[in-house]
């Protein structure tokens, strides 16, 4: 699989202001400092496609990207983070409504990827989020980030522990490292399985 181009299409403060993309869309969501922008950049093979910041909570709108590949075009949607951002409670609640509005009402949505820092415990926020996605009928997959921050033995322990806490409803978590490129091919394969479900399964390698 080759990535031909990646570009920002639009950003919007509400789902009704986000223009139709005509693309199968994959939503990325997670805590404010989970490494979402870094993962998006790594998947798109672009260093500055999605904005990264040392300050959690930088994404405050729905941000839509078009990723052109030799297997078809897909839309990546960067949703506002939640949890640790240093903003007011009112602003956090507003971001939550924005994310829920997109996830519940966007016809183009094919898959929600929920990111989890491998070093952090699975929390009530994540549990409730998965329950909410299930009630909305939104397919979801868990992606573990920042695996390069742990040594191999500790990493395996955390994967086992998180897999047990998450349960079986959303499949086995995908372990990734944006810095080292680990797990990106499997994330892409999962995206294509949902974006183009009639396509035959094939092995994908990032060129």
Q: Domain of 183?
A: 3-195
CB 92 within 8 Å of CB 27: no
pLDDT at position 50: 83
Give the pLDDT score at 123: 86
**Separation between Cα atoms, residue 34 and residue 12, nearest integer Å:** 22
- Residue 31's pLDDT band, with cuts at 50, 70 and 90, is confident
Residue 156 counted as domain residue:
yes
The enclosing domain of 186 has a CATH number of 3.40.50.300
**Please, which residues bridge with residue 29 across strands?**
114
Domain assignment present for residue 203? The answer is no
Q: Rg of the Cα trace of the chain?
A: 16
Domain count of the fold of the chain: 1
Residue 200 counted as domain residue: no
Residue 141 contacts residue 174 (beta carbons within 8 Å): yes
- How much is the pLDDT for 21? 96
Please report whether residue 206 resides in a domain.
no
Q: Tell me the pLDDT of the chain averaged across its residues.
A: 87
In angstroms, rounded to a whole number, what is the distance separating the alpha carbons of residues 170 and 166?
8
Write the DSSP symbol of residue 35.
S
Tens of pLDDT, residue by residue over 115-160, are: 999 999 888 888 888 998 999 999 999 999 999 999 999 999 999 9
Would 205 be classed as within a structural domain? no
Q: Is residue 202 part of a domain?
A: no
Whether residue 201 lies inside any domain: the answer is no
Sequence-distant (6+) residues with CB within 8 A of 29 are: 36, 79, 80, 81, 82, 99, 112, 113, 114, 115, 129
CA 195 – CA 109 distance, rounded (Å): 9
Tell whether 50 is covered by a domain: yes
Entry pTM: 0.88
């Amino acid at each position: 699989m080759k990535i031909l181009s990646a570009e920002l299409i639009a950003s919007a403060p509400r789902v009704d202001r986000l223009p139709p993309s005509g693309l199968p869309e994959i939503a990325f969501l997670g805590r404010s400092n989970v490494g979402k922008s870094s993962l998006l950049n790594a998947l798109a093979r672009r260093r500055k496609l999605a904005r990264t910041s040392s300050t959690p909570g930088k994404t405050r709108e729905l941000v839509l990207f078009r990723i052109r590949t030799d297997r078809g075009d897909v839309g990546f949607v960067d949703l506002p983070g939640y949890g640790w951002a240093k903003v007011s409670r009112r602003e956090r609640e507003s971001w939550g409504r924005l994310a829920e509005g997109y996830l519940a009402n966007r016809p183009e949505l094919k898959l929600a990827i929920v990111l989890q820092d491998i070093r952090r415990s699975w929390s009530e926020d994540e549990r409730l989020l998965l329950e909410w996605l299930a009630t909305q009928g939104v397919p979801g997959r868990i992606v573990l980030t920042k695996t390069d921050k742990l040594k191999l033995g500790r990493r395996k322990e955390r994967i086992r522990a998180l897999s047990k806490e998450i349960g079986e409803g959303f499949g086995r978590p995908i372990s990734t490292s944006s810095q080292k490129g680990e797990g990106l091919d499997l994330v892409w394969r999962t995206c294509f399985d949902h974006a183009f479900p009639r396509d035959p399964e094939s092995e994908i390698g990032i060129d």
